[in-house]
């Protein structure tokens, strides 16, 4: 099972978030805008990272906004869809 700590660390390393540590990210922090501050380019990179790392695919792009809402929602999706 993937934990929120795993996801936080993967976000930080995969997206080169040098100014933040996993301890500073709450499980319910928003990933985009006023939360962690990711942007659309980060979203594309994150989709590639999740596919490579966990074999997770995003087949319904309409739901991606909800999946990528917070660290917790992303972790829940990964755990429900992990292929590796």
Residue 8 sits in which domain range?
4-81
Q: Residue 58 — pLDDT band, cuts 50, 70, 90?
A: confident
Mean per-residue pLDDT, 18-29: 93
Q: Report helix, strand or coil for 13.
A: helix
Task: Give the residues across from 38 on adjacent strands.
Answer: 32
Using pLDDT thresholds of 50, 70 and 90, give the confidence band for residue 84. low
Report the number of distinct structural domains present in the chain.
1
Mean pLDDT (whole number) for 32-61: 90
pLDDT at 70: 97
We report the CATH number of the domain holding residue 13 as 1.10.1200.10
Residue 76, φ and ψ in degrees, nearest 5: -60, -45
Helix 4-14 / helix 71-81 crossing angle, nearest 10 deg:
100
For residue 31, is pLDDT > 70?
yes
Let me know: does 22 contact 12? Beta carbons within 8 Å.
Answer: yes
């Amino acid at each position: 099972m993937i934990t929120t700590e795993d996801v936080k660390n993967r976000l930080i390393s995969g997206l080169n978030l040098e100014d933040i540590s996993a301890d500073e990210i709450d499980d319910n922090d928003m990933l985009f805008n006023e939360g962690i501050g990711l942007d659309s380019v980060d979203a594309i990179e994150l989709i590639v990272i999740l596919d490579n790392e966990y074999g997770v695919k995003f087949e319904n792009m309409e739901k991606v906004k909800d999946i990528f809402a917070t660290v917790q929602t992303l972790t829940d999706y990964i755990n429900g869809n992990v292929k590796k």
